[in-house]
């Protein structure tokens, strides 16, 4: 393995190859980052010690308003979940000579893939960076809601040690419904099985490893009907927008708990607010929100938020919102930086990264 300080997870031959490439190349490969936060910069700079790319970071998200600022000759743009890779943006990137859109996340619903294909831009992503990070956050949200630790935390700080209003319920013996048993869904299922829950799942494909572990696959409607807790772990696609809507909420158990760490538009937020009002949903935990690009990853503590829907959600005592932080562990950030830079490195040398790292139409 590479012996470079601060970087120990990359095979030595690749690291050496990268350094040679940097020394021989007149102009280093340029990568322009959008939506860059201090933790992205720290992590990517650390891992770039083995690659020697020219990294430039912009705090703004990528969209039509800024794409013209991309320098001619930028090899790759590195983007995150709320950057907007529309046809217009991609056409301009292509005109500037960009060859790669590197998503430093798993989801790619924010990229117009047809346009990328048309303009010959390769889209790569990080499909698996610690699925456990996201699964564990879903469990953290679930436990917070069912044991009301968010309320207890504030209450005890006010020297109020009363238990009134903090009554929870055991997860052991409950039925947990999981929609999507890919990498994250599987990690979530394993934790829930460990808690002694009955785990029902719906996916387009049955995973035999999960079946052997005790997960029971059934129809989407059956999961809705039986689950005390429903957790979403499928990607957002044109077919499953508002998967959780008034109709599907109507099929759920009275007093169910819904957790969404996947993508905001999987749930119709207005329908969910209605279900919270009637008690159909007893708890809601969301790490993603359909209008999140205007809010998340920003400090708006001194601002007036005009989004009345998120304000309504925040007013419920049984709703927990986190700002797309499920992925946010040291382990995951390190893996994201390493995988992204390794893919860009391969593509810059005319090599093809593993299939799983390339987004195909
Ligand atoms: P994956 O690709 O490994 O698994 C997705 C699974 O969903 C697959 O088994 C697929 O067959 C299934 N699926 C697709 N459409 C479905 C549908 N309509 N109904 C039921 N199942 C369906 O993806 P992975 O890594 O498990 O990630 C899942 C999602 O989690 C990502 O697409 C992303 O939106 C979200 N995510 C959220 C993060 C966060 O920080 N909140 C971080 C990373 C991912």
Atom of ligand 1 nearest to the CA of 127: 25
Decide if 293 is catalytic. Answer: no
* Ligand 1 and 326: CB distance under 6 A: yes
List CB contacts of 352: < 8 A, sequence separation 6 or more. Answer: 346, 358
C-beta neighbour count of 298 within 10 angstroms: 12
Active site residue 136: no
pTM, two decimals, is 0.85
Tens of pLDDT, residue by residue over 110-161, are 999 999 999 999 999 998 889 999 999 999 999 999 999 999 999 999 999 9
Residue 233 beta carbon below 6 angstroms from any ligand 1 atom: yes
55 lines ligand 1 (CB under 6 A): no
Q: What residue owns the CA closest to ligand 1's atom 36?
A: 262
Residue 257, phi-psi category: left (phi > 0), alpha (psi -120 to 50), beta (remainder): beta
- H helices present in the chain, as ranges: 12-24, 38-48, 87-95, 113-118, 131-147, 149-157, 183-194, 208-213, 220-226, 246-251, 269-278, 308-314, 330-348
Active site residue 263: yes
Question: 263 CA to middle of ligand 1, Å?
Answer: 9
- In this structure, what token pair is assigned to residue 45? 């700079």
Cα–Cα dist 75/243, whole Å: 37
Q: Which residue(s) pair with 111 in the sheet?
A: 85
Answer yes or no: are the C-beta atoms of 32 and 70 closer than 8 Å: yes
> 260 C-alpha to center of ligand 1: Å?
11
d(CA 349, CA 21): 9
Give me 23's structure tokens: 């020394």
Alpha carbons 161 and 89: distance in angstroms, whole number? 55
Looking at residue 361, its pLDDT comes to: 79
The pLDDT tens digits of the residues spanning 256-315 come to 999 999 999 999 999 999 999 999 999 999 999 999 988 998 999 999 999 999 999 999
The more confidently predicted of residues 14 and 187 is 187
| 11-129+329-360 is classed CATH 3.40.1280.10 | no
The domains spanning 11-129+329-360 and 131-321 adopt the same CATH topology: yes
Cα four-point dihedral sign 215, 136, 327, 141: positive
**184 Cα to the center of ligand 1, angstroms:** 7
Mean pLDDT, residues 314-319 taken together: 97
State the CB neighbour count (10 A cutoff) for residue 20: 11
Residue spans of the domains in the chain: they are: 11-129+329-360, 131-321
First-to-last alpha carbon distance for the chain, in angstroms, is 35
Nearest CA to ligand 1 atom 16: 234
Task: Say which CATH superfamily domain 131-321 falls into.
Answer: NAD(P)-binding Rossmann-like Domain (3.40.50.720)
Residue with tokens 């949903």: 281
Spatial contact of 159 and 138, defined as CB atoms under 8 Å apart: no
Q: What is the mean pLDDT of residues 217-230?
A: 98
Q: Looking at the DSSP assignment, which residues form a beta bridge with residue 31?
A: 55, 76
């Amino acid at each position: 393995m590479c012996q470079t300080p601060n970087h120990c997870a990359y095979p030595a031959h690749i690291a050496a190859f990268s350094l040679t490439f940097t020394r021989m190349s007149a102009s280093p490969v340029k990568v322009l980052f959008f939506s860059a936060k201090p933790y992205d910069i720290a992590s990517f700079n650390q891992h770039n010690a083995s690659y020697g790319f020219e990294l430039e970071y912009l705090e703004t998200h990528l969209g039509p308003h800024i794409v013209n600022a991309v320098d001619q000759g930028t090899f790759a743009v590195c983007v995150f979940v709320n950057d907007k890779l529309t046809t217009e943006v991609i056409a301009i990137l292509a005109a500037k000579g960009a060859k790669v859109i590197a998503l430093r996340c798993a989801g790619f619903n924010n990229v117009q893939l047809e346009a990328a294909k048309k303009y010959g831009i390769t889209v790569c992503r990080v499909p698996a960076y610690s699925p456990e990070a996201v699964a564990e956050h879903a469990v953290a949200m679930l436990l917070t809601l069912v044991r009301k630790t968010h309320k207890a935390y504030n209450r005890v700080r006010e020297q109020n040690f009363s238990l009134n209003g903090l009554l929870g319920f055991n997860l052991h013996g409950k039925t947990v419904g999981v929609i999507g048993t890919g990498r994250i869904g599987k990690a979530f299922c394993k934790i829930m099985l460990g808690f002694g829950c009955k785990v029902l799942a719906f996916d387009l494909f049955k995973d035999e490893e999960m079946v052997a572990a005790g997960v029971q696959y059934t129809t989407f409607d059956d999961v809705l009907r039986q689950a005390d807790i429903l957790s979403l772990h499928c990607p957002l696609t044109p077919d499953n927008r508002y998967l959780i809507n008034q109709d599907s909420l109507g099929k759920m158990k009275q007093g169910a708990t819904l957790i969404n760490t996947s993508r905001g538009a999987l749930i119709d937020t207005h329908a969910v607010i209605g279900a919270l009002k009637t008690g159909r949903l007893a708890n809601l935990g969301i790490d993603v929100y359909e209008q999140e690009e205007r809010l998340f990853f920003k400090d708006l503590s001194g601002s007036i938020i005009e989004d009345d829907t998120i304000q309504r959600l925040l007013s419920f005592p049984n709703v927990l919102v986190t700002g797309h932080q499920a992925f946010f562990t040291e382990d995951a950030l390190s893996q994201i930086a390493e995988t992204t830079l390794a893919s860009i490195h391969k593509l810059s040398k005319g090599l093809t990264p593993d299939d799983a790292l390339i987004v195909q139409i």
